[in-house]
Amino acid sequence: MITKDGVSRSQTEFFSENGYLVLPDFIDAQACLQLRDRAMYLAETLCPTPQEATVFTADGTAEHATDNYFLSSGDKIRCFFEKDAFDENGNLRQQAHLCLNKLGHAMHDLDPVFRDFSHSVRLAAVAQSVGLAQELLLQSMYIFKQPRIGGEVACHVDHTYLWTEPQSVVGFWFAIDDATTQNGCMWALPGGHRIPVKTRNRVNESRTVSTMEVLDPTPYPTEGLVPLEAPRGTLIVLNGTLPHRSGPNTSDKPRHAYTIHVIDGTADYPPDNWLQRPSMPMLGFMN
Ligand code: FE2
């Protein structure tokens, strides 16, 4: 039971112990479907040509790391293609908007439907319950994980890419479709948020390339991750230092999800993070 006062004490304790929290039925199905429709509309209307845009890979190859279209998307709504969306001749296999990996990274500020979805007293209460003193919405992503071509996301922690001092990022992940082990649900390592962070992504001064600083070369454990299957409307809250991944979507069912990453306004957000929002201040869940 989630109230305007936040999650229960046992849920807070579970989050603190395990680094994640699964809240089924947090959003009603109608709101999920409305967001889904809006995402498809944005994909269709904003979809660039493949030449203008970026292939987004999160499987460790990081093709987008030197790409201005990606690195300047923090205060915009942009579209990123799946790697497997292209055939051997470099042509899209189907209509462009059905080949997208995701939209990012400021729908929560720039689009009225996403803005409404992303702001509520209930989300503010959850943020407070998991320890954020002054939550600020840093980025949003709508992830399509399309049937057959939806790519995997390799095991990582969000703090690597959204660094604050001290660490503060928390992920809010909404299941817009049912997420299962067949269509690429999230997997997470219970308690893994206590492992010291192994990598830090930084952008250079001219903001033309981001590189990965290795703080600890040993990999995250590959054993022990658990699937977080999530029916439509589920909210999963993730500590920013929790190792998590998702598999490819090899099924014929879509697996849409919406994520918001929130940082604490009391923490420092360094200028060498790839994501900057020069045109917009960050707001809280109730602004
Ligand atoms: Fe992540």
Extents of the domains making up the chain? 9-264
Q: How much distance in Å is there from the Cα of 166 to the middle of ligand 1?
A: 18
pLDDT at 65 over 60: no
Could you report the per-residue pLDDT of 205-245, keeping only the tens digit for each? Answer: 999 899 999 999 999 998 999 999 999 999 999 999 999 99
Cβ partners under 8 Å of residue 155, min gap 6: 189, 219, 220, 222, 225, 243, 244, 245
Q: How much distance in Å is there from the Cα of 51 to the middle of ligand 1?
A: 27
Q: How much distance in Å is there from the Cα of 145 to the middle of ligand 1?
A: 14
Q: How far is CA 121 from CA 42, 144, 219, in A?
A: 26, 27, 38
Q: How much distance in Å is there from the Cα of 157 to the middle of ligand 1?
A: 6
Q: How much distance in Å is there from the Cα of 45 to the middle of ligand 1?
A: 27
Reading the block at residue 104, the tokens are: 């990012």
Lowest average pLDDT, out of 20-24, 182-186, 199-203, 276-280, goes to 276-280
Q: How much distance in Å is there from the Cα of 89 to the middle of ligand 1?
A: 31
CATH number corresponding to 9-264: 2.60.120.620
pLDDT tier at 143, thresholds 50, 70, 90:
very high
pLDDT at 188 over 50: yes
